[in-house]
Amino acid sequence: VWRFDSCHRLNSVIARRTKGFPMAVKKVALLTAGGFAPCLSTAISGLIQRYTEVAPEVEIIAYKHGYEGLLKGDFIEVTDTVRKNAEILKRFGGSPIGNSRVKLTNAADLVKRGLVAEGDDPLKVAADRLVSDGVDVLHTIGGDDTNTTAADLAAYLAEHDYGLTVVGLPKTIDNDVIPIRQSLGAWTAAEQGSRFAQNIVGEHNSGSRMLIVHEVMGRNCGWLTAATAAKYREWLDTQEWVPEIGLSKEAWDVHAVYVPEAHLDLEAEAERLNKVMDEIGNVTIFLSEGAGLDAIIEEMEKAGQEVPRDPFGHVKLDKVNPGAWFGKQFAEKLGAEKVMVQKSGYFSRSAASNEADLELIGRCTDLAVDCALAGRAGVIGQDEENGDELTNIAFDRIKGGKPFDVTQPWFTDMLSEIGQA
């Protein structure tokens, strides 16, 4: 995504700035970017509260709609009233300052969207805007795309001696950022996906030979799908059942969990699930939206269809619709008389943070502010390559696409319990 020499220069500049006394921080800017996750509003709250606690003299602004607002110079001032009421933000999901998907190195897309002029270097436009707005520290809150974009910007700032510090926070419900153990908001998303399923799976008796496909977000990583299924099955274990009238745990259970990291033998699974359908009368599948994506893309390209992609080059999964594709494949093979495909993504990702995430986000935002005031750049997270230490991880170590480890006992035990090889 960016060059090693830029990384080296960035780290050299950071090292020079942190020798002795760091530069005084007078103004900081916040932005949230990418898709929503159940941590954004909480993280904004945490940053505001921490600055108010340890450095109340520091001005705070928030760019509206992520990097789009940065390029346009569109921001909100964090007033004394906002500081006083920052705790309220933790009660809500989404992001009060707004998000967008903007890649600062994709000049053609930014020109098309009217965010930069033809011939402009978007990184320079962003850097100059930060200087014009008097910003000393930029806090980015987002996933791997947001933080690799932050890395591009941080490298540019360092290479051209702008003297700004960028400190990122890892947001993604996929929990797939290398080398971060737990991304902010992922625990909440799994819990909310379970709540979604508790109602959706209740539809299993709305028709005979019912097939339910619960599509969970996760383009390249199956962690969220697996964790959602595990949380849902934890809920099942707390319930009482009356099988004599048809209220059985077997019918409400998950019968298959498909993630991108595990091979899916469609024919073998169809044979297994046919037996479940014959015995119980319904089948419920938890499907990661990225599972089997290659097969879907191949089918589209063979048919001469254009595969829609976003500015980062990712396939637009809402256009490809993996859940519907799998629903069609299995419906034919299982002889399903009714098929229901439901997606929990937007329900899950826009939720307010749960207790576990509130605690983790609080520790991360506190450290993010401390690092910013000390002039230490990086992405705040539990560094699983260094004993899960919570620290500021150098931008050049941040990557997306961390695979879910399908050999973990909690996952393999769950598959064994539902009869899936």
Report, as residue numbers or ranges, the catalytic residues: 174
Helix, strand, or coil here: 167?
Answer: strand
* CA-based torsion, 34, 39, 40, 43: positive or negative: negative
Q: Encode 249-277 in three state secondary structure.
A: HHHHCCCEEECCCCCCCHHHHHHHHHHHH
* Terminal Cα distance for the chain, rounded: 37
Contact of 220 with 174, CB cutoff 8 Å:
yes
DSSP 320-340: H-HHHHHHHHHHHHHT-SEEE
Q: What number of CA atoms fall less than 13 Å from residue 393's CA on the CB side?
A: 28
Tokens of 124: 């320079």
Tokens of 299: 């089918």
Contact of 251 with 204, CB cutoff 8 Å:
yes
Q: How many H-runs (helices) and E-runs (strands) does the chain carry?
A: 17, 11
Q: Enumerate the β-bridge partners of residue 392.
A: 380
The beta strands (E) that lie in 107-261 are given as 137-142, 165-170, 210-216, 256-258
Rounded to an integer, what distance in angstroms lies between the CA atom of residue 314 and that of residue 202? 34
Q: Quick one: which of 6, 259, 250 has its CA closest to 152?
A: 6
Place of tokens 């505001």: 48
Tokens of 369: 């502010």
Tokens of 164: 């700004």
Contact of 236 with 299, CB cutoff 8 Å:
no
Rounded to an integer, what distance in angstroms lies between the CA atom of residue 105 and that of residue 96? 26
